């Protein structure tokens, strides 16, 4: 049922160029398209984003589950992806933030969206923050 909901959301976002589905729970939404690390298939899903210098920041929280989300693992295998931001489709390269940049970004994420702090408490893994940098 969840996969069907996601497929419908992606379809609506694409058809409306983000006018419908471009916001969810007060967050801007992008469509992230990655290549499956095992299957090689193209995968697209909507993700909440945080505007960040140099690109778009997304959080690989997986709802606080013990495992990273599949899209994150796909990006670790192949950091080249595509995002759709409203009516723009852009190639991006994924970069995982670490150290001070991650700490600073995490503070902003949890200040803006406290649910991520709750996810952090549910898991023992460090929740990755991924900067999707537009490429030419």
Contact indicator for 85, 51 with CB cutoff of 8 Å? no
Q: Are 22 and 15 in contact (CB under 8 A)?
A: no
**pLDDT confidence tier of residue 99, bands split at 50, 70 and 90:** very high
* CATH at 56: 2.30.110.10
Range of the domain at 100: 2-134
User: What value does the mean pLDDT take over residues 126-130?
Assistant: 97
In Å, what is the CA distance from 67 to each residue of 20, 61, 87, 92? 30, 9, 32, 24
Digit-coded pLDDT (tens) for 8-64: 887 787 788 877 777 777 788 899 999 999 999 999 999 999 989 999 999 999 999
User: Per residue in 65-76, pLDDT tens?
Assistant: 999 999 999 999
| CA–CA separation, 82 and 87 (whole Å) | 13
Domain count of the fold of the chain: 1
The pLDDT of residue 1 is above 80: no
């Amino acid at each position: 049922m969840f996969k069907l909901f996601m497929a419908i959301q992606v379809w609506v976002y694409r058809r409306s160029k983000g006018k419908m589905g471009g916001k969810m729970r007060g967050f801007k939404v992008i469509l992230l398209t990655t290549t499956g690390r095992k299957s090689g298939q193209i995968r697209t899903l909507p993700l909440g984003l945080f505007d960040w210098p140099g690109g778009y920041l997304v959080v690989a929280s997986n709802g606080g589950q013990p495992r990273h989300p599949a899209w994150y693992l796909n990006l670790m295998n192949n950091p080249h992806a595509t995002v759709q931001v409203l009516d723009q489709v852009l190639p991006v390269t994924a970069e995982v933030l670490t150290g001070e940049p991650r700490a600073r970004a995490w503070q902003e994420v949890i200040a803006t969206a406290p649910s991520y702090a709750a996810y952090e408490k549910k898991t023992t893994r460090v929740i990755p923050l991924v900067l999707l940098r537009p490429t030419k």
